[in-house]
Amino acid sequence: MDNDFQKVAIVTGGGRGIGAAIVRRLREDGALVVACGRSARPEGLDDDVVWVRADVSWSGDANRVIETASKYGPVSILVNNAGVQVEKTVRDTTDEDWSNVIDINCRGVFNMSRAVLPIMEKSGGSIVNLGSISGHVADPSMAIYNASKGFVHSLTRSIAVDHGPAVRCNAVCPGWIMTAMAESGFALAEDPEKAKADAIARHPARRFGTPSDIANTVAWLVSDQALFVTGQLFTIDGGLTAASPLQPGLL
């Protein structure tokens, strides 16, 4: 394989949902993609995608992902997509919930970024973190998740400030994207179908997002079209958070 001109990209949590869409897109754009996740290699993953079974909340695992990817060339794209959510208020959140969410959503982004920075500072690179609209405005009963995304937003700016110009760092903040994670949110509703219709009506785009909507944004941010773009948070939510939380027409 001739890797001289092929960018090496890492996507964490690349096995499903938004991560899987980012893996597919970066591969289509010509990158050699190394994807990681806590499970075994997902079925149907393209043969030329490298899979590393790893838990990014452990620095040893994070380092191993970077080492594996480095065999193919200097890593120039890192997409910190791995994330979990716990649907609880602060009062109900256990120590275990805290560790679960903070270790993956916060420590994972930190571990991966720290491990890749020496490479990117030398040969250049772009980090894209997955923030969330929930890091800007609160989703009810998602306290620790919301806070973890606020951490991601802030760390994004710090990395951009500290490690430019060689490294660019941005965050994409998805709204409601139809993934298994979002489905589990609707599953909590009394009438999931009615809840979905109501939620769609609140989107100026009149639909939920798809994983590929997010992959499109990530692909642009890591491309040479975005060389002056760093330290920013990009909300991709079909207009949801541009509107007031109070929609009298839907009361």
Span interacting with another protein, options 1-9, 121-129, 157-165, 239-247, rule CB under 8 A:
239-247
Residues acting as catalytic residues: 145
251 binds another protein (CB under 8 A): yes
| Cα(82)–Cα(173) distance, integer angstroms | 13
**ω into residue 165 within 30 of 0, thus cis?**
yes
CB of 72 to another protein, least distance (A): 39
40 binds another protein (CB under 8 A): no
Q: Which of 3, 123, 225, 247 binds another protein (CB under 8 A)?
A: 247
DSSP, res 241: G
Restricting to residues 118-137, name those near another protein by CB under 8 A: 133-134, 137
The residue among 67 and 183 lying less far from another protein, judged by its C-beta, is 183
246 binds another protein (CB under 8 A): yes
| Neighbouring residues of 133: CB distance < 8 A, sequence distance ≥ 6 | 173, 174, 175, 235, 237, 240, 241
Using CA atoms, how far residue 212 sits from 17, 92, 156, 178, 226, in Å, is 9, 34, 22, 10, 19
Q: Which of 202, 210, 220, 236 binds another protein (CB under 8 A)?
A: 202
Q: Which of 139, 223, 229, 234 binds another protein (CB under 8 A)?
A: 139
| Cα(57)–Cα(11) distance, integer angstroms | 14
Using CA atoms, how far residue 249 sits from 127, 158, 221, 225, 245, in Å, is 41, 41, 36, 40, 12
233 binds another protein (CB under 8 A): no
| Cα(111)–Cα(63) distance, integer angstroms | 8
| Cα(244)–Cα(137) distance, integer angstroms | 11
188 binds another protein (CB under 8 A): yes
Using CA atoms, how far residue 180 sits from 18, 21, 56, 185, 248, in Å, is 10, 13, 20, 9, 30
The residue among 166 and 242 lying less far from another protein, judged by its C-beta, is 242
The residue among 134 and 170 lying less far from another protein, judged by its C-beta, is 134
| Cα(148)–Cα(152) distance, integer angstroms | 6
Q: Which of 47, 190, 193, 224 binds another protein (CB under 8 A)?
A: 190
In the numeric block, the tokens 């060339």 are attached to 73
Q: Which of 181, 195, 226, 229 binds another protein (CB under 8 A)?
A: 195
91 binds another protein (CB under 8 A): no
Q: Which of 138, 181, 229, 236 binds another protein (CB under 8 A)?
A: 138
Residues that bind another protein (CB under 8 A): 133-134, 137-140, 185-186, 188-190, 194-195, 198-199, 202, 240-251
